[in-house]
Amino acid sequence: MGLSFFKQEPKIDFVGARFICLGLSALLLLVGLASLALKGGPRYGIDFAGGLMIQAKFEKAPDVEAIKKVLDSLGLPGLVVQSFGQEGDNEVLIRSGQTELTTDAVKTQIDQALAGLDNAHEVQRVEMVGPKVGADLRNKAMEAMFYAVLLISMYISGRFEQRWWAAGAMAGGLMATVYVFHQFGIPTGGLTVLLIAVSMVLCLYLKLNYALGAVVALVHDVIITIGIFSLLDKEFDLTTIAALLTIIGYSLNDTIIVFDRIRENLKAMKGEPLATVINKSANQTLSRTILTSGTTLLVVACLYFFGGGVIHDFALALLVGIGVGTYSSIFIAAAILLALKPKADAPTEQPA
């Protein structure tokens, strides 16, 4: 007998709480989107926006205002100085926009300026990214997220509904949409949002119910995570994108576990209302969900509190995303499936 969190199968009415959960999700989405709109979009780090970043460690607790005052004389554009890492690390991050100086020249100037402080320091990291490289990285990151969602839609359509032709038709429709939109010169960010919206419309039209439920849950998880980052005024860089792609994979895994049990129970419980089948399936997988998500969150929490400043935002994105992804697998994806009413007549998949 495997490890189980419950001695007996719970009988929680997940379906009955769906409207409360949908309302909560709508509120989180609206607050996050409003924050993004008011701030003009995500706050990109130098990976995506271009610029200069220096990490310096001081012997004693650094005075951020004093450091900013001595660096102001250098005339660096968009200079920002902030504490970095845990208390006692005595580290600061120095950020600036694009400058015509070389990396070595800027490092030397900052080194000389900081030497005037009564606090010994050491420059530990210097990063400079050009604006074109930053824009290219940003576009590639958006494309990676879109194609991840597209391939996931195709996989779920084939796995749960055995309709590869419909999944292929959706991929063909999206490729045609990409070609048409490219002719109008739509930026990659806007194009990605449009394509995800088109994916949902195609899933609905082709009756790819499981794929639509999974895609809605994934988009829900990613937007809430981005919204919370915007509310906390956190930067988006390559590590954040890596965290979002990890969240997509983790949330999908949870959703597939629940969907798989729903599909099996639809055949075993013929005649039972779909809401009863979904509740039964969610309760049967709840022990596994708590154990896997709980242990994963424990590890990520350790990274967040003890992993240091470099991976702090990465761990925060995972903490939010895995928590929201676990919730959406039960309350959002299953609620979408209940609204679409999938049938139990899909051919049985042969075990690999």
Residue range of the domain that includes 28: 17-44+133-341
Q: Do both 219 and 147 map to the same domain?
A: yes
What pTM value is reported for the model?
0.77
Q: Do both 174 and 71 map to the same domain?
A: no
Distance of alpha carbon 101 from alpha carbon 122, whole angstroms:
21
pLDDT at 5: 67
Which tokens is 346 given?
Answer: 């899909």
Q: Are the C-beta atoms of residues 60 and 41 closer than 8 Å to each other?
A: no
Sorted by sequence, the CB contacts under 8 Å of residue 320 that are 6+ apart come out as: 224, 225, 228
Q: Is 177 exposed, middle or buried (0-12, 13-18, 19+ CB in 10 A)?
A: middle
Q: How many domains does the chain have?
A: 2
Q: Do both 164 and 221 map to the same domain?
A: yes
Q: Do both 146 and 235 map to the same domain?
A: yes
Rg (CA), the chain: 24
Q: Do both 198 and 300 map to the same domain?
A: yes
Q: Is residue 122 part of a domain?
A: yes
Region 145-170: mean pLDDT is 75
Of 77 and 265, which is predicted with more confidence?
Answer: 265
Statement: residue 1 has pLDDT above 60: no
Q: Do both 95 and 115 map to the same domain?
A: yes
pLDDT at 4: 67
Q: Are the C-beta atoms of residues 79 and 71 closer than 8 Å to each other?
A: yes
Q: Do both 66 and 156 map to the same domain?
A: no
pLDDT at 344: 53
Averaged pLDDT of the chain: 81
Residue ranges of E strands in the chain: 43-44, 51-58, 80-84, 91-96, 121-129, 235-236
pLDDT tier at 50 (50, 70, 90 boundaries)?
A: confident
Q: Do both 164 and 74 map to the same domain?
A: no
Q: Do both 76 and 158 map to the same domain?
A: no
Statement: residue 22 has pLDDT above 50: yes
pLDDT at 349: 42
